[in-house]
Amino acid sequence: MKLAFSTLGVPGLPLPDVLRLATEHGYHGVELRAHPEEPVHPGIGAAERADVAAEFKASGVELLGVAGYTRVAAPGDDEPVLAELRALIDLAGDLGAPYVRVFPGGTAEQEAGEADAIAARRLGTAAEYAGDADVRILLETHDSHRTGADAMRVLGLVGHRRVGALWDLMHTWLGGEQPSETYAALSPYLGYVQVKDIASADDRAPLPLGAGVLPLAETVELLSRHGWDGWLCWEYEKRWYEDAVPLPDLLGAGRDHLARLLNDSA
């Protein structure tokens, strides 16, 4: 498996510094948070996009994906959501990123199955556009669809190879799903896995990997046992927790912890 980290852990950090951290601490890739407050987002122009792609190529660090905030199951008209999706796909295609991350974003007011159908319709429409850009859209286990079983209700309706799943370990755990259950549901669709650690369901401030309660070792062992050879991406949610230890101080130990887990499960 290859290791990456998300720029959510280093909010606003210029890309050259992000790539330097990845290189110094032995990470193979980086997931870019594509938000307007970040250096790289759908609003940047062609020249800036070319520069970003060149910086990644020169560094030897891979661009894992573009983490967007489109909520594909949200109530309302389709076109604004599809426009957001197309913008994210265009950005990923221009940068050479294989994946775009989206959220479910359904609401409690929606009737049973309504959010699933809306999300599937929009993802199915965007899938052909993603194919032209050689990009895959990944629905993250999050918010209204936090378990693998939840995500499968949407992915099963879409049935397109350009639409898959991003397994966020924290959310499937919060949803009461065991790693084996999540993997069984998502394995045919799995793009990559976001790892992290927290103290409890009530205290979700980010912790160093291995210092909390999430079943990280069990998940890595499970993936290894099934021969899965994709990406583990550390999503350290520093952006939402100002008092959390800065991610650069933890990257080396985090990489070593993941390497030990991979070695133990080999």
- 78 pLDDT above the threshold of 80: yes
pLDDT digits (tens, 9 = 90+) for 103-121: 999 999 999 899 999 999 9
Is 229:1 a contact under the CB 8 Å cutoff? yes
Three-state DSSP state, 29: strand
> 244 exposed, middle or buried (CB, 10 Å; 0-12, 13-18, 19+)?
middle
**Cα–Cα distances in angstroms (integers) from residue 254 to residues 5, 217, 236, in the given order:** 10, 13, 11
**How far apart are alpha carbons 145 and 207 in whole angstroms?**
24
* pTM given for the model: 0.97
Please, what's the largest Cα pairwise distance for the chain? Answer: 49
Q: Which domains does the chain have, with CATH numbers?
A: 2-264 (3.20.20.150)
Of 6, 4, 9, whose CA–CA distance to 248 is shortest? 9
pLDDT at 219: 98
**245 CB neighbour count, 10 Å cutoff:** 14
pLDDT digits (tens, 9 = 90+) for 108-158: 999 989 999 999 999 999 999 999 999 999 999 999 999 999 999 999 999
What ranges make up the beta strands (E) of 151-198?
163-168, 190-195
- 265 pLDDT above the threshold of 90: no
**Per this entry, what is the length of the chain?**
266
